[in-house]
Amino acid sequence: MEHQPAKRCDAPATRDPEFLKANGIGGDSIEGYLFPETYSFAVPSKPEKVLLRLVGQHREVWNKLVAEHQRSYQKLREKMKWIDRDILVMASIVEKEAVRADEQPRIAQVFINRLTFSSFKPKRLETDPTIRYGCQVPVRKSAACQAWDVTDRLHRAQLDDQDNPYNTYQHEGLPPGPIANPGMGAIRAVLDPDGSDYLYFVAKDDRSHTFSKTLREHQRAVDAYVKSLQK
């Protein structure tokens, strides 16, 4: 199905309801649908033309990956009850969490495991990038977000903030929408996670991660990471 661009855009196109609806984009912004790639445009170019090019590239890549991973795509839809936008939301989280491309499928699996393993309760993703997004991008921000310095680390006020709908430490399941524009690797990772049974990960000095299956193992990995920072 082709989506035709809106005829007018009274609000900035990235948040204009007519523009979003005309291009088949759910939610209140275009976040998640702007495929990260190198493009060439004439100067000047209308914002709508630029956005449509990026959205078109996203659809092309999306359709290609879904066709390549049809079986696992259907599994996500049936087992997780996810629509395409939900898969995109998860891909955006993987995009922000995985520094190394080779770890994307494992990090995607960790988050899927947190939502599906009966032993993991409550079903919270507990990922910092979602909180940061909720404190910086949405038009309406919670009091705790407004009081936060975006150049600083997250503090207890932000971690405990139930008024931030993107706070995955407080709210179960997926956040309301994408928190980034995922590339091919992150989308593929969600469509084809690695099948491991890890539930936790912590960063190491080389920007890779240590993965753990139990909270006890994870705490040991965290302690090792803290000690490495203190050297």
Q: How many domains does the chain have?
A: 1
Q: Which of 82, 33, 51 is nearest to 183 (CA)?
A: 33
CA distance 25 to 100: 29
Q: In this structure, is residue 213 part of a structural domain? A: yes
Q: What is residue 134's predicted lDDT score, i.e. its pLDDT?
A: 97
CA distance 124 to 78: 20
pLDDT tens figures, 10-33: 458 899 999 999 999 999 999 999
Low-confidence residues in the chain, pLDDT < 70: 1-11, 229-231
Q: In this structure, is residue 218 part of a structural domain? A: yes
pLDDT tens figures, 178-202: 999 999 999 999 999 999 999 999 9
- Report which residue type is found at 41: F
Q: In this structure, is residue 208 part of a structural domain? A: yes
Q: In this structure, is residue 86 part of a structural domain? A: no
Q: Tell me the C-alpha to C-alpha distance, in Å, between residue 155 and each of 50, 67, 149, 202, 222.
A: 37, 42, 10, 18, 18
Q: Which of 106, 154, 103, 102 is nearest to 130 (CA)?
A: 154
Range of the domain at 222: 199-231
Q: Which residues make Cβ contacts (< 8 Å) with residue 175, sequence separation at least 6?
A: 89, 93, 130, 133, 134, 165, 166, 168
Q: In this structure, is residue 133 part of a structural domain? A: no
Which token pair is 7? 């005829």
Q: In this structure, is residue 49 part of a structural domain? A: no
The CB density around residue 79, as the number of other CB atoms within 10 Å, is 10
Q: In this structure, is residue 219 part of a structural domain? A: yes
Q: Which of 136, 225, 211, 125 is nearest to 173 (CA)?
A: 125
3-state secondary structure of 184: helix
Q: In this structure, is residue 215 part of a structural domain? A: yes
Q: What is residue 183's predicted lDDT score, i.e. its pLDDT?
A: 98
